[in-house]
Amino acid sequence: MVRIEHKRARIIIRFKNSKYEWTIEPRYWRNPLIAVVALVLAPLLIRDYPNLLTLLTTAYIYMLICIPQSWQTVGTGRLNFGPQFFVGLGGYTAGLLSIHYGFGPLQTLPVVILISLAFAALFSPLTIIAGGLYFSLITLLLPLVFLEFTYVYSGIFRGETGISGIAPLINLGTIRLNYVVLCYISLFMTLVYMLLIDKILRSRWGVLYGAINDNENAANMMGVNINKLKVTCYIASSVLVGIAGWFIAHYFGTFAGVTYLPFTMLIKVLLISMLGGRAQIYGVAAGAFFVVFLEDALRSLGAIHYWIFPIILLVFLFALPEGLWGIYRKHKYREYYPTMRVRKR
Amino acid sequence: MLNIKNVTKRFGNLVAVNNVSLHIDEGEVVGLIGPNGAGKTTLINVICGVYKADSGKVEFNGVDITNKEPYEICKVGISRTYQIPQPFPDMTAVNNVAVAVLGRRDVANMSFGDALLDASHFLQFVGLLSKRDVLARDLTLYEQRALELARALATLPKLLIIDEAMAGLNPTESLRAIRLINRARDEFNLTILWVEHVMKIIMETADRVLVLHYGEKIAEGSPEEISRDTRVIEAYLGEKYALR
Amino acid sequence: MLPQVVVYTFILGSLYLLVSLGFSLISGVLRVFNLGYGIVFALAAYLTWMCMRDFGLGLIPSIILMVAFQLGITYAMYRGIILRYFEREEILLTALILVANIVEQAVNYKYPIIAGVSIPTTLAPGTLDILGVAIPKQLIIAAIVGLIFTTLFVIFFLKSKFGLITRAISQDPQSSLLMGANVTRFFGYACLLSVIPPIVCTLLVAPVWAIDPFMGSSFLMTAIPISILGSLGNLRGSIISSYIIGFVHSIVSFAFNPRFMGLAALVVVIAVLVFKPEGITRSESLW
């Protein structure tokens, strides 16, 4: 039933009719292993500095948002300018359920997933009817409209101060232990997201998503069911972003739409994707660390950092055409480097 | 095999295809000719599902495919090449063909590696195996046309629609392309609907020829009959072609 | 309620003409969505204020200086960002959003909202009674100026040689290049022209509506649905959709809750897109 073979540095597992294979040459797993070990050891090394731990967790939260966003860019062939809508959705759902019905984090998670599914399904026809620029603009407006909505019903959404007193994710007694374990949880979630989406993009679905990104109509003519693929990609990635919103709400204990819905958040998410290297999953990690630590470093300058920070980001955007990931590794000629065609439909 | 009854397609006030009926039997090579603007590409787009016919019916092997989505029509067994090649520019040639392989009906759970292997067979058939890792946008025009053909063949069609494959090729390349298409037809048992401007090719290879003019079918028959038809000569006014 | 909706549809629609005219110009000619368009509004108000307050100049010299400065900034953005990244659209759009954010935050830093910025451009104080609705005379003047401006723009683009070349470029830049049009220079002219309507709008509307550093974003949030509805860059479409969105805003404000204006406009735009995926006029050119 299950047969395992080992030939030429590859492990091949045959299970009934399907075949799974992994390459185990050291040069493929050496660098990722070093990186993962470093990331796993990091929270232990900085366990005495709670603000550094929070920074690290924030970086992981941004990765949780940007990795599905990168997948969605390739999978739908459109640039989504409003991924933070689902962050707000997940966060508010978790927060409201927690303070009104006393749900704990494990009980709010299924509801967050359901609500994200519902809204993503509601918006998914946009990927079919709206192309290129129209899609980008409509998604640009969605989070801002949501923010207005929360201001209108500020009785429920608590306006600008947001919801506070949300049940914490875990409570193990000491604050230090809490922070360290929460950091590990976010690291674990990030690694799961990364692994999942990397596998998807390297598989046969990945090449179909690339085809959709490159030339939707030609792919349609060749038997690829583009509508189903686009809609499933949009819904799946939006649900993943919603889960990131859930994590934010339970980690910080408060959730205010004004922090996570306006343009400033969009800029950070977009820049992390761009600076990390345009739809490169691992580049998102480099970009997230860079943006989060830069913002914190600049915060000590005072109010001036609000406009110095985007200026520095702009300089890096111009200076690094392949993003930060390009410094580590120039992309090979035959690897798929998606061109985002925003204007042409 | 393919049965088109009274298909009409309008764009606003312009009637691009006007009440056209035709049929194609299995194993035939049917040529579709006509002056520019006659509606040949529009008719092909209607067959392939890119445009929805305003009226009429398209039947393939008894299945009504009139208003189906293009990918469903591809799975039924119709494939086409484009006049201006439309590859996936950022992907390598072998990935391009792999997408076509993965779009087939019979590949329930094919892995990516197996799809690549299958794709290389088709690339080798058209002679592009040495360019398998070249990005599609870096290929020359002839190579892109060959890639189009490989992609169309990879979907294992029963009917192949070729849209002006010779445009832009020099005589040597045209000869290679014709030989390639003939080999494909023999090896894959294809029925071919060939839209072409170069009369010599159509007259030599087609079993039957249809002529469109201003969206209407004005003549149908063997190449010899068409070459003597006064309506066709009038439509092409001054066009000179050689038999054999 | 009906007279209020009618009057405000006219007023808002005419004002939105000014707001969306420049935006549609850039979208139509360059096919670039200039998300940094909002800075023109904010800078129009705050640069004038800065010249008057910090440099002690009078109103007219301040306005002249501000216009010159804005033209300079827009030209710098055109050459430095738009031309360089014309082919790499995702970087282009991100950079434009960033520029908008930088300017907004810089303005907010120098003149936070409590600084009480106001610009004395009131041409006619008081209100006028139309159909039983009291409208500030300033807004009526602004609406009329909006109509005049739009008429001038339309006549210019339809009748002049400059307009003819611009319309050709908006349909097909490659062919226009082959015909000898200096496409780069005309792109620049379009960018510079697009700066004028927002400046006029801000200066006229400033005494009546509030000035805050983030006003650019609010104006942009109105200009975007109008442009999408008007087929992204078609002047005729923008004119029609300005009034449609003006109507939507009016009726939502008076019949329900003014805070639902943005949501209502978005719903209307999406509903229209379902039936007409390319906007109202389905056109790919400037007119």
User: So what's the ipTM on this one?
Assistant: 0.88
Q: What is the pTM of this model?
A: 0.88
Q: Is the Cβ of A228 closer than 8 Å to some Cβ of chain B?
A: no
The confidence band for C262, taking pLDDT boundaries of 50, 70 and 90, is: confident
Q: Which helix (H) or strand (E) holds C141?
A: helix C137-159
Query: Which residues from A are below 8 Å from C89, CB to CB?
Result: 340-343
What is the least distance, in Å, from the CA of C253 to any CA of chain A?
A: 13
Q: Which of A137, A263, A307 sits opposite C106 (nearest CB)?
A: A307
Contacts of A226 in chain B (CB under 8 A): 71
Split at pLDDT 50, 70, 90, the class of B243 is very low
For chain A, strand residue ranges (E) read 2-7, 10-15, 18-23, 163-164, 254-255
Closest Cα of chain A to B37: distance in Å?
A: 22
Structure tokens belonging to residue A235: 């819904």
Q: Which residues contact C223 (CB under 8 A, 6 or more apart)?
A: C16, C19, C20, C23, C37
B91 touches chain A (CB under 8 A): yes
Q: What's the mean pLDDT in A11-40? A: 82
Mean pLDDT of A42-58: 87
A85 has pLDDT over 90: yes
Of the candidates A128, A74, A144, A121, the residue with the CA atom closest to the CA atom of residue A242 = A121
**What average pLDDT does the segment B133-161 reach?**
92
Q: Which residue has the higher pLDDT, A342 or C4?
A: C4
Q: List the single residue in B with minimal CA-CA distance to A212.
A: B88
Contacts of A206 in chain B (CB under 8 A): 112
Cα dihedral across residues A324, A329, A330, A334: positive or negative: negative
Q: Which amino acid, C136?
A: P
- Per residue in A119-140, pLDDT (tens digit) is 999 999 988 888 777 888 888 8
Among A210-219, A245-254, B7-16, C245-254, whose mean pLDDT is lowest? B7-16
Question: Which residue of chain C comes nearest to A130, CA vs CA?
Answer: C277
Rounded mean pLDDT, B28-43: 85
* B contact chains, 3+ CB pairs < 8 A: A
User: Closest residue of A to B86, CA-based?
Assistant: A218
Chain C residues inside the 8 Å CB shell of A137: 33, 224, 227-228
Residue B168, classified by CB atoms within 10 Å of its CB into exposed (0-12), middle (13-18) or buried (19+), is middle
Which residues of chain C neighbour A153 with C-beta distances below 8 Å?
none
What backbone torsions phi and psi does residue A75 show, to the nearest 5 degrees? -70, -35
User: Quick check: B137 contacting A, CB < 8 Å?
Assistant: no
Could you tell me which residues come within 8 angstroms of residue B129 by beta carbon, excluding any fewer than 6 positions away? B120, B123
What is the structure's pLDDT at B88? 92
Q: Comparing A72 with A331, which gets the higher pLDDT?
A: A72
CB distance from A343 to chain C under 8 Å?
yes
Q: What is the pLDDT of residues A225-252, one digit of tens each?
A: 999 999 999 999 999 999 999 999 999 8
Residue of A134, A271, A275 to mutate for C, most C C-beta atoms under 10 A: A134
- The pLDDT assigned to A341 comes to 75
> How large is the average pLDDT for residues C26-50?
86
Average pLDDT over residues C199-210: 86
Query: Least CB-CB distance to B103: which of A17, A223, A227?
Result: A223
CB contact, 8 Å: B71 with chain A?
yes
> What residues contact residue A7 under an 8 Å CB cut-off, 6+ apart?
none
Mean pLDDT of chain A: 87
Amino acid at B21: S
Q: In chain A, which residues have their Cβ closer than 8 Å to the Cβ of C93?
A: 79, 81, 136, 342
How far apart (Å, rounded) are the C-alpha atoms in residues A61 and B108?
A: 37
Task: Note whether A200 contacts C: Cβ–Cβ < 8 A.
Answer: no
Instruction: Tell whether A75 is within 8 A of chain C (Cβ).
Output: no
Q: How confident is the model at residue B242 (pLDDT cuts 50, 70, 90)?
A: very low
Q: Using pLDDT thresholds of 50, 70 and 90, give the confidence band for residue C92.
A: confident
Query: Is the pair C, A in contact (3+ CB pairs within 8 Å)?
Result: yes
DSSP secondary structure code for residue C242 in this structure: H
Domains, chain C, in order of start with CATH, read 2-275 (1.10.3470)
pLDDT of residue A196: 93
Q: Is a pLDDT exceeding 90 seen at residue C72?
A: yes
Q: Which two tokens stand for residue A128?
A: 């079919």
The reply to whether residue C90 touches residue A278, judged by beta carbons under 8 angstroms, is yes
Q: How confident is the model at residue B241 (pLDDT cuts 50, 70, 90)?
A: low
**pLDDT in the model for residue B12:** 81
Residues from chain A contacting residue C46 (CB–CB below 8 Å) = none
Closest-CA distance of chain A to residue C1, Å: 22
Greatest mean pLDDT range, A245-249, A328-332, C128-132: A245-249
CA A325 to chain centre: 17
The reply to whether residue A129 touches residue C274, judged by beta carbons under 8 angstroms, is: yes
Checking if the pLDDT of A258 tops 90, the result is no
Q: Does A218 touch chain C (CB under 8 A)?
A: no
Query: What pLDDT, on a 0 to 100 scale, did the predictor assign at position A44?
Result: 87
Count helices and strands in chain B by DSSP H and E runs: 9, 10
pLDDT reported for residue B240: 56
State yes or no: pLDDT of C180 exceeds 90.
no
**A21–B74 C-beta distance less than 8 A:** no
Q: Does position B56 have pLDDT exceeding 50, yes or no?
A: yes
Q: Is the pLDDT of residue A59 over 90?
A: yes
Query: What is residue A117's predicted lDDT score, i.e. its pLDDT?
Result: 96
What is the set of domains in chain B, with CATH numbers? Answer: 2-77+157-236 (3.40.50.300)
Is the Cβ of A270 closer than 8 Å to some Cβ of chain C? yes
Quick: pLDDT tens for A285-304. Answer: 889 999 999 999 998 888 78
For a pLDDT cut of 90, what percent of chain A falls above it? Answer: 32
Q: What is the pLDDT of residue B244?
A: 35
Q: How close A137 comes to chain B (CA, Å)?
A: 25
Q: Are C283 and C227 in contact (CB under 8 A)?
A: no
Number of A:B CB contacts under 8 A? Answer: 98
| pLDDT band at A190; cut points 50, 70, 90 | very high
Determine whether the interchain pair A137/C33 forms a contact, defined as Cβ–Cβ distance below 8 Å: yes
Write down the mean pLDDT value for chain B.
86
> Residue C72 is encoded by which pair of tokens?
């300079």
Instruction: Decide if A12 touches C, using CB distance below 8 A.
Output: no
- For A184-202, the DSSP string reads HHHHHHHHHHHHHHHHHHH
Contact B/C (≥3 CB pairs under 8 Å): no
Degrees (nearest 5) of the Cα angle C233, C237, C243?
A: 125
* DSSP line for B35-92: STTSSHHHHHHHHHTSS--SEEEEEETTEE-TT--HHHHHHHTEEE--SS----TTSB
A344 falls in which pLDDT band (50, 70, 90)? Answer: low
Residue C32 has pLDDT above 70, yes or no: yes
Q: Do residue B110 and residue A204 have CB atoms under 8 angstroms apart?
A: yes
Please tell me if residue B162 touches chain A, with a CB cutoff of 8 Å: no
Q: To the nearest whole percent, how much of chain A has pLDDT over 70?
A: 99
Domain boundaries, chain A: 1-45, 51-328
Is the Cβ–Cβ distance between B162 and B194 less than 8 Å?
Answer: yes
Beta-carbon separation of B89 and A215 below 8 A: yes
Contact between A11 and A22 (Cβ < 8 Å)? yes
Residue A345: predicted pLDDT: 47
C167-181 exposure pattern, b = at least 16 Cβ within 10 A, e = fewer:
bbbbeebeebeeeeb
pLDDT for the residue numbered A118: 96
C90 vs A318: CB contact, 8 Å cut-off? no
Taking an 8 Å cut-off on Cβ atoms, the answer to whether B71 and A208 are in contact is no
Q: How would you label B23-47 residue by residue, b for 16+ Cβ within 10 Å and e otherwise?
A: ebeeebbbbbbbeeebbbbbbbbbb
Considering only CB atoms, C266 lies closest to which of A81, A145, A342, namely A145
Interface membership of A304 toward C (CB under 8 Å): yes
Q: Nearest CA of chain A to the CA of C92: how many Å? A: 10
